[in-house]
């Protein structure tokens, strides 16, 4: 419990870069998503129109929406799923249960196999235990965008997990999606697509 944690800047605090519309589809051009406002990141994550899903609020990101129920929880939740850049994506938002603890979480799973690694957030700064991943996140400025985010990578893909709190970053999963895809581009190989609707989240990150 961080009784005296420093106050982290909001994502994009002091941002002076291109307007959101000018960043459409340019996620690869962002060096540090934690330094970018949410509306700019959202536009940057959008795919070409021929890859849009018309049945979803996140359809411009190539994602459809469905219900999700953690097998260990009793509350209905939401999943976003689809394929981006040839990688299967599964995002779960809502209640999950781990051991005796039940909590609200956002889970982002990008199916690209990588060497084993972990990235953790220490007061909004990301720290990695793999040299390539450390090189990707080492220059990121501390930001609310990464507060309490944790990533794991390995043969089942890359999974990010963050709790949902009243003070948390709005739509934090979009920042995690950017980060997972950035790491997947440097370390990962797309996995065969699978039916993930009832699958347990990899690495017990659910």
The two structure tokens encoding residue 22: 């000018």
pLDDT in tens, 91-102: 999 877 665 556
Q: Kindly state the average pLDDT of the residues 15-43.
A: 95
For residue 4, the model assigns a pLDDT of: 39
Those residues whose C-beta lies under 8 Å from the C-beta of residue 56, and which sit 6 or more positions away, are 63, 64, 65, 80
In the block, which residue shows the tokens 């690694």?
Answer: 117
Cα(128)–Cα(138) distance, integer angstroms: 8
Q: Confidence class of residue 57 from pLDDT cuts 50, 70 and 90?
A: confident
For residue 165, the model assigns a pLDDT of: 67
Q: Confidence class of residue 7 from pLDDT cuts 50, 70 and 90?
A: low
Q: Kindly state the average pLDDT of the residues 54-81.
A: 83
The H helix count followed by the E strand count for the chain is 3, 9
94 burial type by CB count under 10 A (0-12 exposed, 13-18 middle, 19+ buried): buried
pTM (2 d.p.): 0.91
Question: Is residue 70's pLDDT more than 90?
Answer: no
19 burial type by CB count under 10 A (0-12 exposed, 13-18 middle, 19+ buried): exposed
Cα(194)–Cα(88) distance, integer angstroms: 8
For residue 99, the model assigns a pLDDT of: 54
Q: Kindly state the average pLDDT of the residues 126-150.
A: 94
């Amino acid at each position: 419990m961080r009784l005296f944690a420093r106050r982290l800047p909001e994502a994009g605090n002091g941002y002076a870069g291109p307007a959101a519309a000018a960043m459409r589809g340019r996620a690869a051009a962002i060096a540090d998503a934690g330094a970018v406002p949410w509306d700019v990141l959202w536009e940057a994550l959008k795919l070409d129109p021929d890859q849009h899903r018309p049945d979803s609020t996140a359809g411009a990101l190539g994602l459809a929406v469905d219900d999700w129920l953690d097998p260990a929880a009793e509350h209905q939740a939401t999943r976003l799923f689809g394929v981006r850049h040839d990688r299967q994506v599964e995002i779960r938002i809502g209640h999950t249960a781990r051991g005796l603890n039940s909590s609200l979480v956002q889970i982002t799973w990008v199916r690209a196999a990588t060497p084993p690694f972990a990235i953790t957030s220490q007061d909004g700064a990301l720290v990695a235990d793999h040299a390539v991943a450390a090189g990707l996140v080492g220059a990121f400025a501390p930001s609310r965008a990464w507060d309490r985010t944790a990533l794991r990578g390995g043969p089942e893909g890359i999974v990010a997990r963050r709790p949902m709190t009243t003070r948390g970053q709005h739509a934090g999963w979009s920042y995690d999606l950017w980060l997972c895809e950035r790491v997947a581009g440097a370390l990962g190989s797309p996995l065969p697509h699978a039916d993930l609707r009832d699958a347990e989240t990899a690495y017990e990150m659910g």
